[in-house]
Structure 1
Amino acid sequence: MRGSMCTVVPYKLRYSMRVKRLRIQVVPRGVIAIARHGTAVDDIERAILRHKDFIVEKQKYYQTVESTMIPASYKDCSQLPVLGKNVVLPQDLLDAENRERLVVKWLDTRLMEFLEEKLKKYAEKGLAAAKLRLRSPITLWGSCGNSGIMINRKLVHAPAEVTEYVLVHELVHLVHRNHSSRFWGEVEHLLGDVRAHRKWLNLQGAFLMNGEVPIIH
């Protein structure tokens, strides 16, 4: 964690040849500066200080829910939130040498079962996808195309209604390729008011992308 000039805003610095200019990301419990190799640290820190007010506001936004999220490791946890419910992992997974890989596979199965059930429901309403895949993108919850729909496997830890919203979002995109009023009208026709689901993804979802899961009592 750096912070000479930036003691008010501690940050982590990453170098990448993919970025054309400095990027500042406010993530749960931290700030990340992504810069090209050779960028002067003083220039990076001046940029962070220029954005200090925005950074502080975003951090306050995350702090409103950070007590409801917790870091999770598939290597040592015995229970995990699965679609809104706290689930104890099967003992054979806990005892396995390749535990982490098997837990991911087990969670993928739970998520696919849920999604395939919902796909049948929406196919009856005229919305169908050629194929459904689970992936682990860094920034996307889902995507769609002629080949089908991709859903982020981390959504297994989100509430069931939020995960269903992401699926419906992508299904409707197969018909409406933008976020027009017709798109949102169809989504809300199927699910009702989705503002709470979108807020969850923007707030708690940022923690989920960062390797944390919801605390379920």
Structure 2
Amino acid sequence: MKIDEIICSRRKTLALQINSEGKLIVRAPYRMHQSFIEQFISQKKEWILAKQAQAITRHQSRQTLKHRYLPGEKFRFLGHDYPLCLVVASKEGKTRLAKKLRLCDQGFLMLEQYQHQAKKLFVEWYQNEAQVFFENQVKAYAEKHQLTYREIKVGHARKRWGSCSSQKNLNFSWRLMMAPIEVIDYVIVHELAHLAHLNHSAAFWYQVKQMMPDYAVHRQWLKSYGHQLELLE
């Protein structure tokens, strides 16, 4: 089996990593013999092939999700797709569109003159919507389950949908605003459960299930489709 890259360091154990393009990366201790690495890879062959197939499928899917910000192109919000509509201002520069980008029954309306900065406008729009959404939803769940937190922040995190600090500050990725509401609520419940358990122990998962009995369905959705929650160019 082909090894695409070997990274040696002071680590004590051998680890395998499949990157987003399906390439096999080996992380090994200094002076570890090549034959030992090859034997380890042989033992993990089925796992490697499965992970590579999964990574390649996701990579191909991401290529088809690239945005060009053209009229009619679909953008997701709370699990639903809405087309982008460009609004042309009159010669006098007048338009009924109060904001550069907004969502209505027709879809996303954007002033044509700002099309060149479309991604920036979409990111800002998602961030603003996320801040309001998370403040309302977190408050509702926290009050229902008698949990207290400090601050809520919305960020650009790609690898973590949410986090909870030891100071009880909650962080969420604005990219979640593309997911179905139930999936977003699962992430909220997950982080709120960390207020009581700063780990992933049995007690933590018990708390999550108490707050959301069907959490496993939404957790699996994130694992399967989370890579689609992105603005790609």
How does the TM-score come out when normalised to structure 2? Answer: 0.65
Partner of 2:155: 135
Structure with larger Rg: 2
| Structure 1 counterpart of 2:77, from 77, 82, 86 | 82
Give the CA deviation at 1:68.
Answer: 11
Take 1:152 and 1:100, find their aligned partners in 2: how far apart are those partners? 16
Take 1:17 and 1:138, find their aligned partners in 2: how far apart are those partners? 26
Q: Count residues in correspondence.
A: 200
Residue segments in structure 1 that go unaligned for 5+ positions in a row: none
- Does the 8 A contact of 2:62 with 2:228 survive in 1? no
Partner of 1:152: 173
Aligned pairs for 1:187-198 within 5 A: 187-198=208-219
- Does the 8 A contact of 2:183 with 2:218 survive in 1? yes
| Structure 1 counterpart of 2:132, from 88, 107, 113 | 113
The C-alpha deviation readout for 1:53-109, integer Å capped at 9, x for no partner, is: 21212345568x859955434553632122211123322378333222111111112
Any idea what SS the aligned residue of 1:179 has?
Answer: coil
Partner of 1:26: 18
Q: Specify the code of the residue in structure 1 equivalent to 2:50.
A: E
Any idea what SS the aligned residue of 2:23 has?
Answer: strand
- Does the 8 A contact of 2:142 with 2:192 survive in 1? no
The C-alpha deviation readout for 1:145-171, integer Å capped at 9, x for no partner, is: 215111122222222211111111111
- Does the 8 A contact of 2:74 with 2:81 survive in 1? yes
Measured on the aligned residues, the alpha-carbon RMSD in Å equals 4.0
| Structure 1 counterpart of 2:189, from 147, 154, 168 | 168
The C-alpha deviation readout for 1:177-203, integer Å capped at 9, x for no partner, is: 223333223222222221111212223
Partner of 1:183: 204
Q: Specify the code of the residue in structure 1 equivalent to 2:194.
A: H
Partner of 1:104: 123
Any idea what SS the aligned residue of 1:169 has?
Answer: helix
Q: Specify the code of the residue in structure 1 equivalent to 2:69.
A: D
Higher relative contact order (CA 8 A, sep 6+): 1
Q: Specify the code of the residue in structure 1 equivalent to 2:142.
A: A
Any idea what SS the aligned residue of 2:148 has?
Answer: coil
How does the TM-score come out when normalised to structure 1? Answer: 0.69
TM-aligned CA distance change 1:93 to 1:178, over 3 Å: farther
| Percent of paired sites with the same residue | 27
Q: Specify the code of the residue in structure 2 equivalent to 1:148.
A: N
Give the CA deviation at 1:141.
Answer: 1.8
